[in-house]
Chain A
Amino acid sequence: MVSDIKVSIKNLYKIFGPNPESVLGEAKAGMSKADLLEQHGHVLGLKDVNIDIQARGIQVIMGLSGSGKSTLIRHINRLIEPTAGEIIIDGQDVLAMSDEELLNFRRFKASMVFQKFGLLPHRTVQDNAAYGLTIQGMDKDEAIEKSSYWVKRVGLAGFENHYPAQLSGGMQQRVGLARALATDAEILLMDEAFSALDPLIRTDMQDVLLDLQEELHKTIIFITHDLDEALRIGDDIAILRDGAVIQQGSPQEIVLNPADDYVRDFIKDINRARVLEVSSVMDSKKPRSGVKVDKEMVIEEALQIATANDYKPLIVTEEGKAVGSVQFDAMISAIARPEKDAERNPEYR
């Protein structure tokens, strides 16, 4: 994928309280969230956040409750004004936009899906899905015609005339997704969009999203506090703690090299076989015979293949060319949970 940066967040600070500017200096000097609250009565929402978000990928932002995820995503469409910093989207400074430009940015360029759905209870599924288009100024019939495609795409055909209260949570969020997709915005902001759904429905919705993304290639910023979800859908993951980004990288990088105990604690229960790729455990030997696997294959799949082939080493290929091999034992030890995880004490919770 050609990497170009769609959204660039630079030195972003957000402080909640009566007079944020007055304590910005302290925050910039590195005062902790707890101290800032105790000594100055201000809440440090975001602290020196720097994230470059690739176009056409899924950027996950992860963190525990209160770590500032919602605050961060709301800066991107300026539902929240920062205390300091920059947000550049397609070379344009979001903070410099006039009211008119901001309205148009929200109408055409970035749409949003919410944890609590945020549907209009007095409008039908159809009208809710068409909401963004009517706000754009599109004529009602046209808006409904256009959005009905998305209603079908998210699997709600036949429910057009239902009211949100008549739908299950999963179906309501499908409406939320259809509403966001209908505006054709290039950027999709999703704030814990699937967190309110039960696990099976959540996996369903992730599939819906991934399928759509296959063909739509939007720039998706996806907030979650669930690592499995993050690993499953994220191309890149940024981890927030107390308003600061403590690690950013691909799922594999984060699992292999957790930046600190906070991250380590996050990843301790995940299924490593499903995240780690063969490339992380391969050696440079090139056996003459063996079954070929791509270096980006996850270990879980490679193990299947190795098992079916008498546990012999597999040949690792990159774009069809052999680049090394992977041993059965190496794969097994890679997916075992690292020793020290067991005794650590997550005192920061």
Chain B
Amino acid sequence: MARQAPVRDVAPTVQRLRLRYAKRGRLRFTSTRDFQRALERALRRTGVPMAYSQGFNPHPRISYTNAAPTGTASEAEYVELALVKRLDPERLRDALDEALPEGLDVLEVVEVRTPDLAARLEASVWTVELPGVGCEEASSAAAAFLKCDRAEVSRLTKSGMRTFDAREPVVRLETREASPGADGTPCAILDLVVRHVTPSVRPDDVLAALRLVADLVPPIPARVTRLAQGPLVDGASDGDPRRAVSDPLAADRD
């Protein structure tokens, strides 16, 4: 007699919530899977009434979208939760933020009122700090990159080594100077706006391209932060790069 998965009374989903969270400081070294485990445990500790999947090995219903790579900090990561009881989003935000370690910070929680958040995450705004690289060197490399029509790079992805164009999805690439470090080393900053395409083009791909087209080799690994993701605004190529995308949760907020 083969054992069947127990049929349980799974309570129906009555509410969906969208979270924006940040990955900061030393916790930027967490991978997506690390975050998933931490979130699921925090949800259990806070007693959030999650909806579960059926089967022998039921999982809480959580969808993760477009997570920033390991080692990259972010101010704009998105997750969606399905619940079997209606919760106050603000209280959930406070409780979850408290339960997660410092550095994985829940910034806002809104109730889902519109479908398909993933489709609204059209592009990301990144800043890339390059300690040890002077601003001039960085801006001439950026200019060389922008002049290209294509910039092929290769990266090991889940489906093996892939070669793709890192130039086309780059909407903006600008450079500025950070205030020098305590020991006086220079530090250039790249402001980068990249459309989400498949395979995804990430800041490290753009850095790989800068190395190829302009021999830019940072002496110290770059520090990358995703500042925002969302729909590209009209005129995304002018003005403050941080305004190049709009708030993807705006539609859920009434």
Asked if A and B are interacting partners, one says no
Q: Which residues of B contact A (CB under 8 A)?
A: none
